[in-house]
Amino acid sequence: MRPLYVHGADTQVRLDGPSLRISTPTSADRWFPLRRLSRVVSSSVVVWETAAVLACAGQGVTISFLDGDGMLIARCIGRVDAHDRLHERLEQLLFQSDWRELYARWLAAVENMAVRSVIRRSGLALVDRPEPQALRRLFRQGAASMNALFAYERIGREVHSLLVALVTQWLTNSRIDIARCNGLEFNLASDLADVLFWDFQLARLRWLEQRLERLDTVEAPPRAEIVGFFETRRERSEKLVRGLIHRLHRWLIERD
């Protein structure tokens, strides 16, 4: 199963039997069987047929819609058939009066783990490990030194939205009630995407360095290129998502 990315003005998505049919003015129609899709990420300018949206929902294929700046603006989450008990453990946590404090400590711990990994892979000779915010500033300074801060931040927005879409699908498959979490101002998908986003800090800086060497200038890449960049690391991201959700599940079990 693979993700499907749909973008471009005048693009239409319709249901055609067991498949999504993608139509654009500049190319022949393409068909994507629903049973082979893990999730769909769509630009907000794409025109969706209602039947296609409902078919995705019926198959448990999450659709994430991004605006022109790469920000996530809506999600359609459908039926899932899963037997994982992670959702039950999470429900138990949410019934505790101090769940926010407990969860915040766990989230800080896994973020620190991600920060340590970035520092180790970067080869930075640091006397003291910086706080996450300080490390973010360090990477932004690196992008600014190439006159590529706008491109760096644009890539970051797009990649973070793609990560939220990826995490949402994993949580949905584990029967996590995303709507209930959001109603409690508990944005679990975004929180986990924030942790996973650390894995892209160095990668996007290096990508910009390579573009600078090749093009002698660094402008914000078009969405299709950013999606391609994300796809080159998707297997690794899938592995990291799986590991992070496993850590969450194990933490919830150990608390009993």
Let me know whether 9 and 46 are in one domain: yes
- Interval 38-73: pLDDT, tens: 889 999 999 999 999 999 988 888 899 999 888 888
Retrieve residue 251's tokens. 């933490």
CB under 8 Å to 100, separation ≥6 — which residues?
186
Give 135 or 197, the one with higher predicted confidence. Answer: 197
Let me know whether 54 and 99 are in one domain: no
Question: What is the rounded average pLDDT for all residues in the chain?
Answer: 88
Retrieve residue 11's tokens. 């693009």
Give the pTM. 0.78
Let me know whether 129 and 54 are in one domain: no
81 belongs to a structural domain: no
Task: Looking at mean pLDDT, say which of 3-12, 131-140, 174-183 comes out highest.
Answer: 3-12
In angstroms, rounded to a whole number, what is the distance separating the alpha carbons of residues 164 and 156? 12
Let me know whether 99 and 189 are in one domain: yes
Q: Which ranges in 174-233 belong to alpha helices (H)?
A: 178-183, 188-197, 201-215, 223-232
Among 25, 41, 76, residue at a domain's last position:
76
128 belongs to a structural domain: yes
Let me know whether 10 and 90 are in one domain: no
> What is the crossing angle of helices 201-215 and 223-232, to 10°?
120
Give the strand pairing for 19-24 and 27-33: antiparallel
163 belongs to a structural domain: yes
Let me know whether 136 and 96 are in one domain: yes
Among 76, 99, 134, residue at a domain's last position:
76
CB 45 within 8 A of CB 22: no
Whether residue 81 has pLDDT greater than 70 = no
Retrieve residue 142's tokens. 């690196």
CATH code at position 48: 3.100.10.20
Among 44, 76, 108, residue at a domain's last position:
76
Let me know whether 247 and 120 are in one domain: yes
CB 15 within 8 A of CB 32: no
Provide the domain limits for residue 115.
86-254
**Phi, psi of 10, rounded to the nearest 5 degrees:** 70, 15
Let me know whether 60 and 108 are in one domain: no
In angstroms, rounded to a whole number, what is the distance separating the alpha carbons of residues 9 and 213? 31
Distance spanning both ends of the chain, measured CA to CA: 35
Let me know whether 47 and 168 are in one domain: no
- Interval 239-254: pLDDT, tens: 999 999 989 988 988 7
List the Cα angle 182/99/195 in 5-degree steps.
Answer: 65
CB 59 within 8 A of CB 81: no
CB 244 within 8 A of CB 193: no
Let me know whether 50 and 155 are in one domain: no
In angstroms, rounded to a whole number, what is the distance separating the alpha carbons of residues 10 and 7? 9
Let me know whether 68 and 190 are in one domain: no
The number of distinct structural domains making up the chain is 2
19 belongs to a structural domain: yes
93 belongs to a structural domain: yes
Let me know whether 100 and 158 are in one domain: yes
Retrieve residue 182's tokens. 């959001």
